[in-house]
Chain A
Amino acid sequence: MAYVAIADRPDELHHPHSFITKYVWSQDHKVIAIQYSIIAILVGLIALGLSFVMRLQLAFPDTFSFIDPSIYYQSVTMHGMIMVIYLLTALFLGGFGNYLIPLQLGARDMVFPYMNMLSVWVYLLSVIVLLASFFVPGGPTGAGWTLYPPQAILPGTPGTDWGILMMLLSLAIFIVAFTMGGLNYVTTVLQARTRGMTLMRMPLSVWGIFTATILGLLAFPALFVSAVMMSFDKLLGTSFFIPAVLSMGDVLETEGGSPVLFQHLFWFFGHPEVYIVALPAFGIVSDLLSVHARKNIFGYRMMVWAIVAIGGLSFIVWAHHMYVSGMNPYFGFFFATTTLIIAVPTAIKVYNWVLTLWKGDIHLTVPMLFAIGFIFTFINGGLTGLFLGNVVVDLPLSDTYFVVAHFHLVMGVSPVLVVCGAIYHWYPNITGRMLNDGMGKVHFWMTFIGTYCIYFPMYYLGILGLPRRYYSNGVTDFIPDSVSAVNIAITVSALIVGLAQLLFVLNLITSLRFGKKAEQNPWRATTLEWRTPEYPPGHGNWGPELPGVYRWAYDYSVPGAEKDFICQDEPPTEGQGA
């Protein structure tokens, strides 16, 4: 008897029946994706709240009695770490990766569903440990999200007793969760694509997520070992990262460690991490632009190679975060060169997005607005990376508000705009209902304009020389009084942007019940996730037979075709190219 692949034996799929197995201990990638997303968004809202602690202090110093320096620096730290790791990484890979990979590739599920389920619960555990650090003696760590030793574990910094250990433990747990999910995503992409879905026919969303996952699998171990080593320094008295120091009047027994070693390990993880967040955003926004401009993505192959090239280069640029760290200054030549080289594939992506709009049939839907907002924001944030990447230009700007503006625009706001656009785009696929359009537009405008008003002026504060991570500016001759006015304006913008996100959450919740019923493929997209027999897709995704794929994901407005899109699973007919 011939071998029949499990994917073609639907009677053997064990459909869950109880509430618990369907929605709690679920092994369905779609449910897991939603679980990941809900946890990530909730913890992200906490981090958003922490940013208001900072902004209130900076705009109105000496006004709020609850914001003392400890609380301020703890907020800075937790805001950064949560946003980068627990929100963006988890949401793009655990959320979008889980949802899109099997559906867009025509698979029934991830190849290791049980491990997938473990992944989300272990992720939840890491979040619980992280949030628990708010309630331990001394509070969470206030070492800055980079957790640089020695200050992260020596007195003089908030949360050096318990907080830092909770943070390191939480990161280690997160990495375990990520590794279980990540191996799954990579294996699924490589092994579980349906017939005809060649790698070069995959939607760019999957390409972005796939490449980012590989980066994560290679980069997170560096963070893991540095977390273990720092815990040893803290608990066992080792000196990996601490040389001989005089701390608070006492000569410690540490000797010979190197704080710069930690920075190398951290940024060997930290720089790929930027692309772990950016590449999925690049991929997803490519698809949003193509669908809503009714036009194929321009230069698909170049886009794929650009993603791969950026992924590869991202491992040899890490020390551009360390130009003034005291590492051997001759490294600056190498890392400035690699860093500016990475600008070329990145620029190509931007050109291709814009050229996708050119001669398109642009539908200014809410997802499209977010995609365009992304391009504008990303151009701005990306170009200022050329300042900081070019070692000597970095000298006056490093450690100032210029850096804050740059990375928030490029890896904070830009990916978040894509996340929002993507949620408006795929919400009907998930829930069978549309999100409210009017609320969506208000959300977009407040977020897009608001975030630019927050960060654009910060560039100039940085050029002026205003240092970041200052609880207050104090009396400093070169800082004019007008800076306080700018800080107030920035804080007002931030509050408006925060309000807009609450509107978004409200939209997400109310549309579940009151949203307009969505037709099966409301955006008239070509990709497989809109072609499931059940809508929204049910457990196992496909009916008795898996879909076959006959074309790439971008057959929009094909000359001679009757509709302006041809789905990937539509076989070629006479007179029509495939």
Chain B
Amino acid sequence: MAIAIAVILLVIGSVLFHFLSPWYFTPLASNWDTIDLTVDITFWVTGVVFVLVNLFMAYAIIRYRHRKGLKADYEPENKKLEWWLTAITTVGVVAMLAPGLVVWAEFVTVPEDAGEFEAVAQQWQWSFRFPGDDGVMGQSAVRLMTIENPFGLDPEDENGLDDVLVFGNEVHLPVGKPMKALLRSKDVLHNFAVPQFRVKMDLVPGLVTYLWFEPTKAGRFDLLCEEYCGLAHHTMRGDVVIEEQADFDIWLAAQPTFADTLAIPVADATAGQALYAPCAACHGMQGEGNLALNAPKLSGQEGWYLRRQLNNYKNGRRGTDPADMFGAQMAAMAGTLPNAAAVNNVIAYIQTLPDLPAAATISGDVDRGESLYLTCAACHGRDAMGIWSVSAPRQAGMSDWYLATQLRNFRSGLRGTHPQDGYGEQMASMSMMLLDDAAINDVLAYINTLPVDDKPRQVAILEQ
């Protein structure tokens, strides 16, 4: 008896939950209202079956529960009833399947007037490419991918030279225009999903997959990877900004073409030496760092990383929080580098400085640190020398006290919160696994035990 009542209550509860709970689809921001319609149809058909069959069962339990003298019926089969039920079920299935297939046919057929862009995924970042004025995207290949050419475009291919490259996790698209997304992965499986657009598709290395949608609402939407792609899967975020065509055109024009990135002049270390003089006041003549002045060691750090952080400081993406005193100081100093060439030159000079391991100032439980570092190693490398393709800088042999400060800044929200600092956001999310100062010290103590190699480091010249 209790079980029948429980079934009835669960049915009522489920229906009420469906209508009253605040968790339902996000407001639609694309043309795919037909997908929402097929979901609604499915909800109605399955909902009716759910309620009817369960209530019938509950009624049967109440009515035919064992009492003295009750005897069950003997009816092995009832052909007519069985065929009726089969027929009704078939009708219900067709009612759901037919509209579903019609909408799927729309999904696999991209409208002829659709614009194209490419979304490129890698562990655990997005970048994007637009076809440029000729409307054709150039060839790409994995073997061509380098730190200077992360898209792997073929410089010999005319079609590729005017391709517009978007470095970083944010892409803009015009409102009201159907867009076909060509999806390419450099390493493992990923997935392109914006919940408000309803559609999603995996990115598969070795293939170019696609999906299409027409954004119908301006705004900023979360781009998620929804195919498990390794340790930092949950931090693989992007932003899709939908805006009016005119704003989109301005944004697109500000992005470099592939030809632009090929034309950047080689950095001049000699010119950089003069620019480095103010830096040396705090960071030291040899870039060795100075704990008393809170200036970390620079020599030996990856060039692309120095460049990104200098640009972050210059562009107000870092060091803007009033509580981050040292960050604010550095932001002011970075502002004195007048342009991209100056940044490149000063980095080129830093690359020439001798790379001596910084003195260890932090101690902790090395064994615990080693097991914690397993997660960090996914990006920063087992040797903690950094991996450019996942945008993870070197840690081994660098100023450990500085790393400790930064980890605390990430955890407390002083760093990695600016919407344009996607990599910082990633690190902020990952740093949450180090729950307290002891954990931070243990990890750094372990990093201090790692041997430091002296392979030459590269200056990235790409990020604008």
Contacts and interface: CB of A to CB of B under 8 A. Distances in A.
A344 B86 contact: yes
Contact of B23 (A295, A391, A460): A460
B231 A392 contact: no
16 contacts: A157-B230, A157-B231, A248-B381, A298-B78, A324-B202, A326-B203, A359-B72, A359-B73, A360-B72, A364-B1, A364-B61, A387-B39, A457-B23, A461-B23, A463-B25, A471-B234
Nearest to B386: A249
10 nearest CB pairs, A to B? A243-B206, A465-B195, A359-B73, A156-B230, A399-B226, A295-B72, A557-B72, A470-B234, A151-B188, A249-B389
A174 interface: no
Interface string B30-73: 00100100110010011001100110110011001110001111
B435 interface: yes
B400 to A, nearest CB: 20
Contacts of A376: 7, 10, 54, 57
B311 to A, nearest CB: 21
Contacts of B50: 379-380, 383
A244 B141 contact: yes
Interface string A294-314: 111011111000000000000
B399 interface: no
B187 A246 contact: yes
A65 B435 contact: yes
B425 interface: yes
A390 B72 contact: no
B251 interface: no
A472 B426 CA distance: 12
Interface stretch (B159-167, B337-345, B371-379): B371-379
A344 B439 CA distance: 56
B237 interface: yes
B189 A301 contact: no
B10 A393 contact: no
Contact of A324 (B142, B191, B228): B191
Interface string A53-72: 00000000111010011100
Given A246-B186, A464-B24, A336 B204 contact: no
B14 A456 contact: yes
Contact of A245 (B82, B90, B205, B228): B205
Size range of the chain A interface in the assembly: 35 or more
Contact of B64 (A150, A248, A357): A357
Interface string B316-350: 00000000000000000000000000000000000
A341 interface: yes
Given A329-B108, A372-B7, 12 more contacts: A63-B435, A150-B188, A156-B378, A243-B207, A244-B206, A246-B145, A260-B204, A337-B101, A343-B93, A393-B42, A449-B6, A557-B72
A396 B35 contact: yes
Contacts of B7: 372, 376
Given A372-B3, A398-B200, A464 B25 contact: yes
Contacts of B145: 246, 251
B200 A474 contact: no
Contact of A452 (B10, B42, B201): B10
B429 interface: yes
Contacts of A69: 231-232, 234, 375, 430, 433
Given A150-B205, A456-B17, A478-B195, A348 B85 contact: yes
A355 B80 CA distance: 14
A120 to B, nearest CB: 33
A358 B224 contact: no
A550 interface: no
A501 interface: no
A392 B107 contact: yes
A301 B97 CA distance: 28
A464 B89 contact: no
Contacts, number: 371
A413 to B, nearest CB: 13
Interface stretch (A280-288, A479-487, A512-520): A479-487
A362 interface: yes
Nearest to A64: B435
A249 B74 contact: no
B104 A336 contact: yes
A8 interface: no
Contacts of B435: 62-63, 65
Nearest to B378: A156
B60 A358 contact: yes
B125 interface: no
B23 A246 contact: no
B76 interface: yes
A351 interface: yes
B258 interface: no
A156 B381 CA distance: 9
A463 B23 contact: yes
A384 B39 CA distance: 11
Contacts of B46: 383-384, 386-387
A466 B395 CA distance: 34
A350 interface: yes
Contact of B209 (A154, A157, A326, A372): A326
B77 A354 contact: no
Nearest to A250: B389
A450 interface: no
B75 interface: yes
Contact of B57 (A372, A384, A467): A372
B74 A559 contact: yes
B222 A390 contact: no
A467 B226 contact: yes
A244 B85 contact: no
A344 B85 CA distance: 9
Contacts of B206: 243-245, 256-259
B425 to A, nearest CB: 7
B3 A476 contact: no
A65 B432 CA distance: 10
Given A343-B89, A354-B60, A359-B64, A390 B97 contact: yes
A294 B21 CA distance: 41
A327 B273 CA distance: 54
Nearest to A77: B228
Nearest to B28: A396
A398 B183 CA distance: 18
A158 B374 contact: yes
A20 interface: no
A460 B17 contact: yes
Contacts of B234: 69, 467, 469-474
